[in-house]
Structure 1
Amino acid sequence: MLDIGYSLSRRFPDPPQTDYRTADGRALRHDLFCGDVYLADTAADRELSTAWGWVPVLDFAWALCDIVERLDRDPRGSRAAEPQYAELDFTESSDRMLFMRRFGWVEVEADWMPGGEPPLVFDHRELRREARDFLHDLAADLTDLHEGLGDNVLVWDLLARFPRV
């Protein structure tokens, strides 16, 4: 079973003068809502997480949904034997999270994983569902915390682009 989660950082708070209603894409993806994220395989009791405190969590959710869709471009879907690759790079460092789909399974590993540790493996459909649920749950949490964010057109477009499945 897959669990995706986050925690917001107290070390990198959002600027107090931020108007979340009109925040642009750069602010939403790179400047606001910093913290840490994790992907966990609860059945295997393994986790891939950041511990930096500065990861823009909304950008992570957004990028993860994009990556899951990119991994599904082969028209053969889960029957595709040819590996499909994608990576999520963290803007403020050289670290990357790497994704490889073959058939219906996605392997996830990161540059900072200890050598020799096997990647986390998830069913692609489950990863798609959980990534979208994470995005919607995160947006709801952030909207509760930040007045006006629920009125931001970019957030509306993002949630419409990746509806819950």
Structure 2
Amino acid sequence: MIDLGYSLSRRFPDPPQTDYRTADVRALRHDLFCGDVYIADTKSDRELSTAWGWVPVLDFAWALCDVVEQLDRDPRGSRSHRVQYAELDFTESADCMLFERRFGWVDVTADWQAADEAPLTFNHRALRREARDFLHDLIADLTDMHDALADNPVLWDLQARFPRVA
């Protein structure tokens, strides 16, 4: 089972003058909502997590949804034996997470994990569902904290692009 989560940083708060209603893509993806993120395999009790405090968590959720879609470009889908690769780069850092899909399974590794550590392995369909749920839950949390964010058209487009899946 997949668990995706985040925590917002108190060291890197959003600027107090922020107008969340009109914040553009750059601000939403790179300047606001900094903290840490993790992706965990609850079955094996292992996780990949950041501990930097400055990761833009909305950008992580957005990029993760993009990555999962990139891994699904082969028309043969889960029947494909060819490995499909995608990277999730962290803003303002050289660190990244690498995703490799073969058949219906995705291996997830990160630059900062030990070389001998096995990757986290998830079913692609489950990863897509969890990534989209994480994005929608995160947006709901952020709009609870900042009411004006619910009126931001960038987030409307984002939620329409990555709807929840059953």
Whether these two folds match at TM > 0.5 is: yes
1:106 aligns with 2:113: no
Map residues 118-129 of structure 1 onto 2, 5 A cutoff.
118-129=118-129
Spell out, residue by residue over 1:38-95, the C-alpha distance to the aligned partner (whole angstroms, 9 max, x if none): 0000000000000000000000000000000000000000000000000011121111
Spell out, residue by residue over 1:11-39, the C-alpha distance to the aligned partner (whole angstroms, 9 max, x if none): 00000000000000000000000000000
Spell out, residue by residue over 1:123-163, the C-alpha distance to the aligned partner (whole angstroms, 9 max, x if none): 00000000000000000000000120000000000001000
1:95 aligns with 2:117: no
C-alpha distance in 2 between matches for 1:128 and 1:89:
18
Which residue is 2:147 aligned to?
147
Asked if 1 retains the 8 angstrom alpha-carbon contact of 2:6 and 2:36, the reply is yes
C-alpha distance in 1 between matches for 2:59 and 2:76:
29
Q: After the TM superposition, list the runs of 4 or more consecutive aligned residues in structure 1 that deviate by more than 6 angstroms.
A: none
Name the stretch that deviates more: 72-81 or 89-98: 89-98
Q: Which runs of 5+ in 2 are unaligned?
A: none
C-alpha distance in 1 between matches for 2:72 and 2:138:
23
C-alpha distance in 1 between matches for 2:147 and 2:69:
30
Which residue is 1:35 aligned to?
35
Q: RMSD of the alignment, in Å?
A: 0.4
Structure 2 counterpart of 1:62, one-letter code: W
For 1:148, what is the secondary structure of its paired residue? helix
| Identity across the alignment (%) | 79
1:8 aligns with 2:8: yes
Q: TM-score, normalised by structure 2?
A: 0.99
Structure 2 counterpart of 1:79, one-letter code: R
- How many pairs align? 165
Which residue is 2:84 aligned to?
84
Asked if 1 retains the 8 angstrom alpha-carbon contact of 2:56 and 2:91, the reply is no
C-alpha distance in 1 between matches for 2:65 and 2:91:
17
C-alpha distance in 1 between matches for 2:7 and 2:56:
10
Structure 1 counterpart of 2:70, one-letter code: R
1:136 aligns with 2:153: no
Which residue is 1:64 aligned to?
64
For 1:98, what is the secondary structure of its paired residue? strand
